[in-house]
Amino acid sequence: MATQVVDHSALKVNQTGIIATVLVSFIGSAFYRPFLVLIPLLAIVLLVGTFAPQYALFKQLYFKVLKPRGIVKPRPVQDRPEPHNFAQGLGGVFLAVASAFLLPVPVIGLALALLVAVLAFVNLAFGYCLGCQIYFQLGKRGLIRAS
């Protein structure tokens, strides 16, 4: 499978959106519980964005608003989008599980959501993408077609 140009600024905006949403939900819910609804909403946004990239909210925010206005500069890199999409989907699944725990066991729900935010931060700050590494391992074991 050939590489294509992936705008890494779009990925960074996506990661920033994930971190910001989880943090607002986490801190906000300490004072006003309905803020927790942001977590299932974020799960939906990530899962929809994985299967229909044209509806990926944060990436669209980048392509339609931030990039045309010059607020965020594009950073095209020869890359494959599949591992990033896989990582985003994994984040969405974790947030969906977190959402299921939010009412019965809020500690687990919040912890899972925070974990997704921590991993998004690690990717944003250090370029280490855990989901991409899992994608590589699955490809190496022949469980998904990774190359």
Question: Which parts of this chain interact with other proteins (CB under 8 A)?
Answer: 1, 3, 8, 26-27, 29-30, 77-80, 82-84, 106-108, 110-111, 114-115, 118, 127-129, 132-133, 135-137, 139-140, 146-147
**Minimum CB distance to other proteins, residue 54 (Å):** 22
**Minimum CB distance to other proteins, residue 21 (Å):** 16
Closest residue by Cα to residue 17 from 121, 112, 125: 121
Place of tokens 């690690």: 122
**Minimum CB distance to other proteins, residue 20 (Å):** 17
Q: CA-CA distances (angstroms) from residue 66 to 13, 53, 72, 73?
A: 9, 17, 6, 8
Q: Find the DSSP H helices in 32-145.
A: 38-51, 57-61, 81-102, 106-126, 130-140
**Minimum CB distance to other proteins, residue 71 (Å):** 22
Closest residue by Cα to residue 56 from 64, 45, 65, 67: 45
Q: Please say which residue, 61 or 144, places its beta carbon nearer to other proteins.
A: 144
Q: Please say which residue, 64 or 140, places its beta carbon nearer to other proteins.
A: 140
Q: Please say which residue, 3 or 51, places its beta carbon nearer to other proteins.
A: 3
Asked whether the beta carbons of 36 and 25 are under 8 A apart, the reply is yes
Q: Please say which residue, 27 or 71, places its beta carbon nearer to other proteins.
A: 27
